[in-house]
Every structure is written in C-alpha cells, then in structure tokens.
Structure 1
Amino acid sequence: MRIDRYLHCIRLVKSRTIAQALIVEGYVRIDGKRAEKPSDSVRVGSVIALPLRDRVRVIKVLSLPQRRGPAPEARLCYEEVEP
C-alpha cells in the first residue's frame, strides 16, 4: 500500500495531501530510510517514523486497511513503538 494512503487510512493525517507534503519534505521514514515519494510501499511489519503534533511518532504496521474507517478500526492497523 502507498505510504500516503496508509497514513490517511489509519487517521494519522487528515488528508492524503498533508501526508504527501510530509513525505516530499523528507520527514517520513520507513524502516529507517527516508521515504522518497508518496508512492513508496508499506508492508505489514514496516516501522514508520514521522513528526506529528510536536513529537516524533514511531508506529509498526500490523495490517493494511481496506478503507478509511472509524478511529477504533484504524487503531487496530498499527501499534505505537517507543522511539
């Protein structure tokens, strides 16, 4: 799944446009490597690091969502990892 779509579907960002801006500006890392473009792939088990709300969030991908569902459903797709 595309990283911009994943961040939007799990409700970490309000829109894919915001996710794309974070990625293009170089703020998002996937498995320790900087995400080069919004179409970079995310797989189950990937670790994503990005700055949100004045702190760095590190999350591990548990599953890939089929849609942007309600928040409780979105939280099942990832787990927080301490940086």
Structure 2
Amino acid sequence: MTAAGGKAAGSTIRIDRLLVYLRFAPTRSAALRLIETHALRRNRKHVLRGAEQARIGDVLTLVVGGRVRVIELLALPDRRGSPALARTHYREVDGDNLDPKAQMSLAPSPVVADMQGDEPGNPS
C-alpha cells in the first residue's frame, strides 16, 4: 500500500468497483449501466465489461450528469470513502478543448460506425 492509502503501483482494480469507490456511480449496477451505454472510456477505448482492470496512470473519460469528465488515476482506492478522499485518487485532466456535447470525445466505437456504413441505403 502507498502512503496515501491506495494500492501499490502494479496493482489493478475492476473498473466497475473503481467507479463506485471514486463516487462516479452510487452502486456497481449503476457503474455497469455507464459501461453498457458506452459512457466510459479507458485510455481512449470503450470499456466493454465491468471486469476490465484499471491501473494507476490510466485516463478515464466518462459522462456524468450530462458533463464529460476526463480524469487520470493517481492511486487506487481500497474502499469507498468521502468525496474529498475519493478526489485524492485522481486528477482532472484539462477538458477545455472537449466538445461540450461529447460528440467528439465519446463518438461511437469504430465497430458501431462500420456497421452503420454497411446498412443498405446508407451512402458512404
């Protein structure tokens, strides 16, 4: 464990549990809904399962309350704590250049975009 109460640098944590511990979701079920609606990316790639692992240094892009937030993980929490304690485990990345409606930062994944281009009557 680190002095800040987080896990060691080589450790990982399930991403659904991390969202709860960092207070971006009240429960793991709510965290899974974020994942299922493609409202979460880890290192620019959509998170597809709650069991995906997050590490210190990962950059998460998520939509919470209609707002895009980009955070970098500084430490992994051991449990859900106060909001002030949760904020010590990450830092906000400058989001000034993001599209406020999240159209550019959270566009459909390439797989979804490719499927839409293959639909009949859809000029590509």
- What letter matches 2:17 in structure 1? R
Spell out structure 1 runs of 4+ moving beyond 6 A: none
2:37 equivalent to 1:28: no
- Pair 1:3-2:3 in alignment: no
In structure 1, stretches of 5+ residues that fail to align are none
- How big is the shift at 1:47? 0.2
Q: Deviations over 1:3-41 (max 9, x none)?
A: 110010011111111111110222210000010101111
The one-letter amino acid paired with 1:6 is L
| Structure with the larger RCO, 1 or 2 (CA within 8 Å, 6+ apart) | 1
Distance, in Å, in 1 between the alignment partners of 2:94 and 2:31 is 22
Counterparts of 1:20 and 1:61 in 2: how far apart (Å)?
19
Partner of 2:60: 48
Aligned equivalents of 1:66, 1:6: Cα separation in 2: 9
Preserved CA contact (<8 Å) 1:59 1:79: yes
Q: What amino acid is aligned across from residue 82 of structure 2 in structure 1?
A: P
Kindly tell me the number of residue pairs found equivalent between the two proteins: 83
* Separation in 2, partners of 1:12, 1:52: 7
Structure 2 unaligned spans of 5+: 1-12, 96-124
Residues 7 and 19 of structure 1 are in contact (CA less than 8 Å); yes or no, is this contact kept in structure 2?
yes
What do the CA deviations read for 1:26-83 (whole angstroms, capped 9, x no partner)?
A: 2210000010101111000000001011111100000000010111111100011123
Q: Which is richer in strand? A: 1
